[in-house]
Chains A and B, each alone.
Chain A
């Protein structure tokens, strides 16, 4: 309780004023209570006047009495952690927190299961400088806060009773609810071991239910099996802000017996404005090479195809279709597609592009952009394909790399038909690593329609 430490007489006069006693009555009563000469009638009248003019009050100024722009500035000064705490104090400050721009350099949300008790779920929020962890426990949740990079608890942990899911989702919602939130890099990770995670499912539903689209600039996705959830999450982002997409687990929908249906399902991702608007791609994926054409809008793309779990083979035709698409992107920088060495039709590709051998560097094939002097370059390696566009800036180390490979010489191509399909045909009806390839009726010969 606040103790009144100022002049006690002023306090008494203030009380009499509050009780609507006239100044004269207040003066008499004070005289009777603590002596007649303690203060004059004039003093009482002056203080009455000050109280009426709001120049004197017993009420101490409080934070919420401060002008709104000051409160706004206070909230702007808060770090992420304090901001989340201030948000929980009262309605007025919550309203400020929810409407003042917040730029997060980095936010990673990690959904996993407790290694010692798989029925329990752990959630970790990694910010640029702090990690908040929620550990599901008996009848509640242990919440810990550590500085980024520290692995031992720094004493800031507390147990919260009640529904853990509600607590975690409320905290996540308090971050994403702000329409002025800007996230430079958002990473979402769900461990591979367990497919169903109710927290993760509800988190996606929460994001989808927001009235605004979330401003994310770089997005990293490490969630296995779930392309449909990726579509939902990307849909919740602002298409105009997403510049880069990264994933170590981009598993496209695949059924060897229903290739057209799979294409339609995967188009849900490829046709998203968020996907089309992104300019950088870096992913390890399980993807049919015939979908490569849907990567042509990326200015920079680095793709590693995991062939151990997915058997479809890259063909000359898929690469030529990709080249055709890339010639529509005049801002193209480069694309590298890494594959298992045996799965790239090296000789077939070299034979196909030999007529386009670059006069400057014979190791590269060169293609003209329509109605332009700009060039697209292609080079085939044993383990990857490399496209370079008009916006590519050469690297100093490149000359060393060049020396490792040979040009598209006629001698090299002769008699190289071993393990190669003829130009323009696919070699998809083969078995790789014990996995069954797509049915021979696969439409992979046909180019996907836009």
Chain B
């Protein structure tokens, strides 16, 4: 089991009271362990509630097993906790319903999200699962920015989107898979057509 200390853990001694300097241990689904400061955890509503409910003491966090996060792999979780540590102590934004939202991507976030689309989507999925509002906002903005200046065909390639025709074909295939009799009937119909019959019946 590898232990990965949460990176960029610059703890401001003056700003954070002694009792707040507790580090929780989390484990990804591929058994990678991370130590995350209590203040950084507050960025995630899910984790914050979880640790509050657990009521761990400083000894507990060292002695008890790491908290398992079953749905997220180590590579993704590392990015998530890097983000949380960098933004610890920042206010959590409230959605005011404005469209389009005014979201700026800070330089740190831009570098953090400079990754391949597969990992980016995993990061988004993790941010959603852990309910990290601001990380979701900036990742949404990142994905939205990827659309700028592209044609629909280019966007389909970037986002791996099906065209309308592919969508229709997939829908038909799914229907056929659900109803094998329909496929048999269709094959029978095709066969009869090949044999020259004008009417199915």
Contact = CB atoms under 8 A, between A and B. Distances in A.
B100 A63 contact: no
A120 interface: no
Contacts of B50: none
A61 B118 contact: yes
A6 to B, nearest CB: 10
Interface centre among A55, A73, A85 (most CB of B within 10 A): A73
B91 interface: no
A78 B124 contact: no
23 contacts: A55-B70, A60-B118, A61-B122, A62-B121, A62-B159, A63-B143, A63-B160, A63-B161, A64-B159, A65-B121, A66-B128, A67-B128, A70-B128, A73-B136, A77-B100, A77-B101, A77-B140, A82-B147, A85-B151, A85-B152, A86-B152, A89-B152, A89-B163
A70 B140 contact: yes
The 9 A-B pairs of least Cβ separation, nearest first, read A77-B144, A61-B121, A60-B118, A88-B152, A63-B159, A73-B140, A82-B147, A90-B161, A62-B160
A66 B124 contact: yes
Interface stretch (A14-22, A95-103, A209-217): A95-103
A101 B161 contact: no
B162 interface: yes
B150 interface: yes
Contacts of A74: 140, 143-144
Interface residues of B, number: 36
Given A64-B161, A78-B144, A82-B144, A89 B103 contact: no
Contact of A86 (B99, B103, B155): B155
Nearest to A85: B152
B156 interface: yes
Contacts of B121: 60-63, 65-66
Nearest to A93: B161
A76 interface: yes
Given A85-B151, A86-B155, 14 more contacts: A64-B159, A64-B161, A69-B128, A70-B124, A74-B140, A74-B143, A77-B144, A79-B100, A82-B148, A86-B152, A89-B152, A89-B163, A90-B163, A93-B161
Interface in B133-156: 136-137, 140-141, 143-145, 147-152, 155-156
Interface in B90-132: 99-101, 103, 117-118, 121-122, 124-125, 128
Interface of A: 55, 60-67, 69-70, 73-79, 81-82, 85-86, 88-93, 100-103, 156, 158
A85 B163 CA distance: 13
A125 to B, nearest CB: 18
Contacts of B128: 66-67, 69-70
Contacts of B156: 89-90
Nearest to B116: A60
Contacts of B151: 85, 158
Nearest to A158: B151
A259 B156 CA distance: 60
B148 A79 contact: yes
Contact of A85 (B145, B155, B162, B167): B155
B12 interface: no
Contacts of A86: 147, 152, 155
Interface in B178-199: none
Nearest to B156: A89
Nearest to B102: A77
A190 B125 CA distance: 49
B19 interface: no
Contacts of B101: 73, 76-77
Given A76-B101, A103-B99, A90 B162 contact: yes
Nearest to A59: B118
B29 interface: yes
Given A63-B159, A82-B144, A89-B155, A77 B103 contact: yes
A79 B103 CA distance: 12
Nearest to B128: A67
Nearest to A55: B29
B59 interface: no
B72 to A, nearest CB: 10
A67 B71 CA distance: 15
Contacts of A63: 121, 143, 159-161
Given A63-B143, A74-B143, A77-B144, A90 B118 contact: no
Contacts of B155: 85-86, 89
A80 B100 CA distance: 9
A158 B141 CA distance: 27
A101 B147 contact: no
A90 B136 contact: no
Interface centre among B118, B124, B147, B163 (most CB of A within 10 A): B147
Contact of B147 (A60, A66, A85): A85
Contacts of A90: 156, 161-164, 167
A18 to B, nearest CB: 16
